[in-house]
Structure 1
Amino acid sequence: MTFFFCTVSAQKSLPLDTLKLKEAKDMLADDYGYLYIYKNKDFSFTKYDSLGRQIGKMMLTVPYKVQSVQNPLSLALFSENAQEMKFVDQNMNEIQKVDFKQKFGFIKMAYAEDLQQLWLLDDSTKRLIQYNFRNDTMINAYPFDISFDDLMDLLVYETKVYILTRKHIRIYSLKFEKLFEAPLENGKRFRRENETVLVVADNAILKYDPEKGMVKVFEDKDAQIVDKNILSYFEIKANKLYIYNLEKIKETKLQTEPENKQETAPPVTEPSSEKTAGEEGKKTEEEKKESIEKAPDHTLQKLMEDTSEVQAAGV
């Protein structure tokens, strides 16, 4: 596992009541800056704006897993206990419910790919099911004989199946071929940003890189909960909510990037005592001229190296 994470700087505290944050089981941030707090104590799911004002609230009767809030117009919530998935609008009103009990065995995890299709892990038949819930049609079913006991999340993207457990991340093909596996402690859910797949853990966020494996992009060991949207990282620490702007983090990294060490100039060889002073003077002038002619190339090379390092430093 590769470790490359940003320095948590340029932070600001957001005005949310300490008691609300203390009881939070999970926190999510959408790309418009709204925050969502889920509490296990009363199974409540509440939406707040950036000033801490409540926008909407749901009181659920059983535990639900919030899949994602990236599309705030349609939030997907799955309940293993109730064997159903709810879709909620931007005001936290239920707009649709999909009941799995009548059609399937026991669904261990569900992933809403879009507003029509679901991917379901059926524990009773050990299958991965592609299901169009709009017209109640099973599109495909793939044998998927894995243990579902410690399953935390599921994501399907471009014929790859991402499985998150309490201690690992695994990636399979739809033919049940294992493509990747890595240890990962306390993973909670996946987040996909275009072609990038991220894992949100208790106090860290990691990115899957096909060449490097799991790359840690944010971490604060003192945090209770972390999350991100397209602009910022969020964390609850000491029952306070903090935000870290991605652009400011990049600027900080660029400013604090250590300067490259200057290359040591090669030692100058003393001229032979047999050479005349005129020959020495002529050679010295030629060396100076040669040094001046070579300097721009060396400077350009260093500039290219510096630019590459700065680009690599971005989060």
Structure 2
Amino acid sequence: MISLFCTVSAQKSLPLDTLKLKEAKDMLADDYGNLYIYKNKDFSFTKYDSLGKQLGKMMLTVPYKVQSVQNPLSVPLFSENAQEMKFVDQNMNEIQRIDFKQKFGFIKMAYAEDLQQLWLLDDSTKRLIQYNFRNDTTINSYPFDIGFDDLMDLLVFENKVYILTRKHIRIYSLKFEKLFEAPLENGKRFRRENDVILVMADNSIQKYDPEKGMVKIFEDKDAQIVDKNILSYFEIKANKLYLYNLEKIKETKQQQEPETKQETAPSDTKPPSEQTIGEDVEKTDGERKESQEKAPETTIQKLLEDTSAVQSAGV
């Protein structure tokens, strides 16, 4: 599978110093090509552009989990140790902080649905809490008695609760009915692209398909960290950063298809259930392009409006 992604026309090495990547605990890419490196050694969170120029840096005092950088003007970070969530802007300056200690028990994981609502897993009461932090009100509270020890990430979308542990992905209804479960090794976090739910693992990216279950769309077993944005896959391998452009992957496959058709007899055509990962990537790319065209929330204007709403709420 990795041979597809390592095609010369699809792969590009980005000019980020290996010293900046050597101790990276996590890497994220926003939809404008900026990169974010989190280091657990010194709890630093640094933003770079695609040429490796540093755009901002935060020095944190305790570990934080970066939820997503899809909105680079308001990036949410959660700390179980500090029992708080903070939002930072495009220059890595803190614009809002939410303290959970005074209002809740012990929050094991928090998910920022938007710039008003959080979903909180309270370990002390075994409840899932829908909380509006703009006006400091609890909207709903649901009994949710799951194992919290190996929890890696949380996402709530369309009345479904996605739970990622060290070894599984599980999907529940808000009534705590288990809707789906599958093994998934070394999962790190969720990413939602419109109605598509993705899981980032150490060296692979998988997509949840309601009919097929978990579908692997990218993998490199030699990679240290992988991520994606709407245009590309990213990976750190041997302390170097590589980009795989979805458009170029598609073009490479289209160029190879005529030769494949000539060499393959019609009787040997694979059924849909045996399609290659490359075909799945192509389909995924088409979905990404369609999603990008239909999603006005990814525009700069929308991001600026959302950030103004957060800043007006006060830090």
Q: Is the pair's TM-score, using the shorter chain for normalization, greater than 0.5?
A: yes
Judge conservation of contact 1:7–1:253 (CA < 8 Å) in 2: no
1:160-199 pair list within 5 angstroms:
160-199=160-199
Matched, 1:201 2:235: no
Runs (5+) with no aligned partner, structure 1: 265-301
Kindly state the Cα deviation for residue 5 of structure 1 after the two structures are TM-superposed.
10
Name the CA distance, whole Å, in 2 between partners of 1:263 and 1:115.
53
Kindly state the Cα deviation for residue 213 of structure 1 after the two structures are TM-superposed.
0.4
Matched, 1:74 2:74: yes
Relative to structure 1, the CA distance from residue 4 to residue 198 in structure 2 (aligned partners, 3 Å threshold; closer, same or farther) is farther
Which amino acid counterpart does residue 7 of structure 1 have in structure 2?
F
1:21-100 pair list within 5 angstroms:
21-100=21-100
What's the CA shift string for 1:100-144, capped at 9, x where partnerless?
000000000000000000000000000000000000000000000
The two structures have a TM-score, normalised by structure 2, of 0.82
Name the CA distance, whole Å, in 1 between partners of 2:243 and 2:280.
23
Relative to structure 1, the CA distance from residue 16 to residue 145 in structure 2 (aligned partners, 3 Å threshold; closer, same or farther) is same
Kindly state the Cα deviation for residue 254 of structure 1 after the two structures are TM-superposed.
2.4
**Pick from 5, 8, 11: which aligns with 1:7?**
5
Relative to structure 1, the CA distance from residue 313 to residue 97 in structure 2 (aligned partners, 3 Å threshold; closer, same or farther) is closer
**Pick from 254, 258, 261: which aligns with 1:259?**
261
| Structure with the greater alpha carbon radius of gyration | 1
Name the CA distance, whole Å, in 2 between partners of 1:143 and 1:172.
12
Name the CA distance, whole Å, in 2 between partners of 1:172 and 1:131.
19
Which amino acid counterpart does residue 14 of structure 2 have in structure 1?
L
Judge conservation of contact 2:160–2:172 (CA < 8 Å) in 1: yes
Relative to structure 1, the CA distance from residue 30 to residue 5 in structure 2 (aligned partners, 3 Å threshold; closer, same or farther) is farther
Matched, 1:124 2:124: yes
Runs (5+) with no aligned partner, structure 2: 285-315
Name the CA distance, whole Å, in 2 between partners of 1:22 and 1:47.
15
Name the CA distance, whole Å, in 2 between partners of 1:173 and 1:263.
45
What's the CA shift string for 1:18-52, capped at 9, x where partnerless?
11100100000000010000000100000000110
Judge conservation of contact 1:203–1:220 (CA < 8 Å) in 2: yes
The two structures have a TM-score, normalised by structure 1, of 0.82
Name the CA distance, whole Å, in 1 between partners of 2:266 and 2:96.
66
Kindly state the Cα deviation for residue 8 of structure 1 after the two structures are TM-superposed.
3.5
Q: How many residues align?
A: 272
Cα RMSD, aligned residues only: 2.1
Name the CA distance, whole Å, in 1 between partners of 2:70 and 2:110.
17
Relative to structure 1, the CA distance from residue 17 to residue 240 in structure 2 (aligned partners, 3 Å threshold; closer, same or farther) is same
What's the CA shift string for 1:269-313, capped at 9, x where partnerless?
xxxxxxxxxxxxxxxxxxxxxxxxxxxxxxxxx9xx9xx999766
Judge conservation of contact 1:4–1:217 (CA < 8 Å) in 2: no
Relative to structure 1, the CA distance from residue 141 to residue 53 in structure 2 (aligned partners, 3 Å threshold; closer, same or farther) is same
Kindly state the Cα deviation for residue 7 of structure 1 after the two structures are TM-superposed.
3.4
Q: Which has the higher helix share?
A: 2
- Fraction of identical pairs, as percent: 83
Which amino acid counterpart does residue 102 of structure 1 have in structure 2?
Q
Judge conservation of contact 2:75–2:89 (CA < 8 Å) in 1: yes
